[in-house]
Amino acid sequence: MLLKILSVLAVAGCALALFSLERSPAAKSAAAPDVERGKYLVSFGSCNDCHTPLVMGPNGPAPDMTRMLSGHPQDLVLSSGPALEGPWGAAATHTLTGWSGPWGLSFAANLTPDKETGLGAWSAEDFIATIRSGRHLGRGRPLLPPMPVHYVNTLTDEDLRNVFAYLQSIPAVSNRVPQPVAPAQAR
Amino acid sequence: MNPNRLLSAALVALVTLGAPIWIALSAPRWTTHASSTPPATLAETGLYADARTLTVADGLLEFAPQYPLWTDGARKRRWIALPPGSAIDASDADAWRFPVGTKLWKEFAFERRIETRYMELGRDGRWSYATYAWQPDESSATLAPEGGVAAACESSRGALHDIPGRFDCLACHEASPSPVLGFSALQLSSERDPRAPHADARESGVTLDELVARGLVRNLAAELLDHAPRITARSAVERAALGYLHGNCGGCHNSRGALAELGLDLAWSFEHGSRTLATTLGTPARLQGNGLARQRLVAGAPSDSLLFQRLATREPYLQMPALGTHLVDVQARELIAQWIAELGRRERNSLAHGAAGTRR
């Protein structure tokens, strides 16, 4: 009888151990991306600097968090940048979402999960391919300055998945960012 | 705003004149996950029996796809090597399975040899990709940097030619059901399309029939053994247009690869033929912007068709293909315009016949 009780306890112990292993942090991270870590990386990586438009407030320019990470405002239409002379190599709009330089005009992308205008139709693989290649969806047009893609590219696939998971968790904002404009000599 | 970021962007921009060059140089280094480190020289890949005389090794098969990729007029030669005793499994006619150890080479030349691209299927089942840049005297070719070489030379018509980085290889080759592009039943069919732009006029390569006869391609569907594969179309122009789109766009834009979600299928397949019209004609364009056509394809109106607009421009943020070319393929532009005009005529005739039928 004692042997039987010990056997049952042993089996139960093994089951408990297996259950605990299954729910360990390592298993969790492999199974699902960590949204909180994604948020941490987005904050530390200063993504809001360019992807959230600035508005003028009582203390000067501040990010408009009602449009968090929604990119260059679609109603701020630009067709050309200012003439850059002397030491000036680039210029930005007051929102810090539109940029002008030798590459032409570039506009910060809408990173919110809006299906039509943001990343809502993207997969994590699309996001990783974009960062790794420096090209839209890994195969299209190049990402443009000032996007520091070479820095973001140092993140591991796991952290890029965490970043993407966070971006998919924030409020969707419908904002169709304009297409970049090539410099006149390349058109 | 991080001032360092602004400064770095400005500095890089200042020291690099010309947007296309800037873009190429700024591409990040791809962290490769290839199965093996490529050899340091082209000679070590096994292409040549004698690297000094550039005598190609015995056993390699030269081939020429009937719908080749446009690379600004580059002259190309291609070879494949299969391990002894092995064969290609063609049971999936649209995605041949190649034996481990398969090697392919593609040589690009303008005034002289510029580069030779190389891919090899490793033991782990993954393809590795490399590009070898030729010395100006064509004496040898060495492994190009992982990020490629921007503006490596002038192409034949004055534009710059970039040697692709390793990720550029992945961009196209890993977006298709089979990473081997240009070596397939359709591309090697003995029934070649006489209107296909830029196809080699001479019989310069191995055909599907020869591959099957030699036992190098197995499990090909009986139907394809009985009838040489060809694109079925309503006219010769349409056949060539669909073939061109297959060879130049279908590597990325297909129904089974990484961009399948876009719902734009320009590849031709044995499974369902062509879905080019089904996924373009009258379909709203996803890309929107000033001056851009609102639909992917409008019968009879090339300038209102985004597919045509992007094929007919080399504006760097709009052009298609997005990489690998700086010059519009004029011959293809004319072909696609002709095809779209033909679609319009067909649509009008159809409407006229419908109206006549109603009157009767």
Q: Among partner residues B26, B261, B317, which is closest to A141 by beta-carbon distance?
A: B317
Provide the percentage of residues in chain B whose pLDDT is more than 70. Answer: 87
* Degrees to nearest 5, angle at CA B155 with B80 and B53: 45
Beta bridge partners of B48: B56
> Taking the CB of residue A54, how many other CB atoms lie within 10 A of it?
20
Q: Tell me how close the Cα of B257 comes to any Cα of chain A, in angstroms.
A: 12
Q: Which two tokens stand for residue B310?
A: 């992007």
Q: With an 8 Å Cβ cutoff, are A141 and B322 in contact? A: yes
CB pairs under 8 A between A and B: 129
Beta bridge partners of B88: B217
Greatest alpha-carbon pair distance for chain A in Å reads 93
Q: Over 50: is that where the pLDDT of B273 sits? A: yes
> Given this model, what pLDDT does residue B282 score?
95
Q: Note the pLDDT tens digit of each residue in A21-43.
A: 343 444 444 569 999 999 999 99
Strands (E) across chain B are located at 48-50, 55-56, 61-63, 75-81, 88-89, 103-109, 113-121, 127-134, 141-143, 149-154, 160-163, 217-218, 268-269, 273-274
Q: Over 90: is that where the pLDDT of A8 sits? A: no
Query: By CB neighbour count within 10 A (0-12 exposed, 13-18 middle, 19+ buried), where does B122 fall?
Result: middle
Residue A11 binned pLDDT confidence (cut-offs 50, 70, 90): very low
Cα separation, B153 vs B133, whole angstroms: 11
Q: Is B30 in a helix, a strand, or coil? A: coil
Q: Which residue from B9, B164, B168 is spatially nearest to A106, judged by alpha carbons?
A: B9
Closest residue on chain A to B16 (Cα): A102
Q: CB–CB of B137/B1 below 8 Å? A: no
Q: Note the pLDDT tens digit of each residue in B159-172.
A: 899 999 988 999 99
Q: CB–CB of A101/A145 below 8 Å? A: yes
Q: Note the pLDDT tens digit of each residue in B25-45.
A: 333 332 333 456 899 999 999
> Given this model, what pLDDT does residue A19 score?
39
Q: With an 8 Å Cβ cutoff, are B13 and A103 in contact? A: yes
Q: Could you tell me the residue ranges of all domains in chain B?
A: 31-230, 234-360
The average confidence (pLDDT) of chain A is: 87
> Given this model, what pLDDT does residue A79 score?
87
A45 touches chain B (CB under 8 A): no
More confident site: A60 or B157: A60
Cα separation, A146 vs B9, whole angstroms: 6
Q: CB–CB of A152/A97 below 8 Å? A: no
Q: Note the pLDDT tens digit of each residue in B275-334.
A: 999 999 999 999 988 889 999 999 999 999 999 999 999 999 999 999 999 999 999 999
User: What are the residues of chain B with a beta carbon less than 8 Å away from any beta carbon of chain A?
Assistant: 1-2, 5-6, 8-14, 16-20, 22-23, 26-31, 167, 170-172, 175, 252, 258-259, 261, 287-290, 292, 315-318, 322-323
Q: With an 8 Å Cβ cutoff, are B28 and A185 in contact? A: no
Q: Note the pLDDT tens digit of each residue in B110-154.
A: 999 999 999 999 999 999 999 999 999 999 999 999 889 999 999
Q: Note the pLDDT tens digit of each residue in A94-105.
A: 999 999 999 999
Average pLDDT over residues A156-179: 97
Q: Is B21 in a helix, a strand, or coil? A: helix
Q: Note the pLDDT tens digit of each residue in B223-249.
A: 999 999 999 999 999 999 999 999 999
The average confidence (pLDDT) of chain B is: 88
Provide the percentage of residues in chain B whose pLDDT is more than 90. Answer: 81
CA distances from A116 to A112, A173, A176, B199, B285 (A): 10, 10, 8, 40, 12
> Given this model, what pLDDT does residue B351 score?
84
> Taking the CB of residue B213, how many other CB atoms lie within 10 A of it?
10
Q: Which residue from A141, A55, A50 is spatially nearest to A92, judged by alpha carbons?
A: A50
Q: With an 8 Å Cβ cutoff, are B12 and A142 in contact? A: no
Pick among B2, B4, B6 to test the A interface (most A CBs inside 10 A): B6
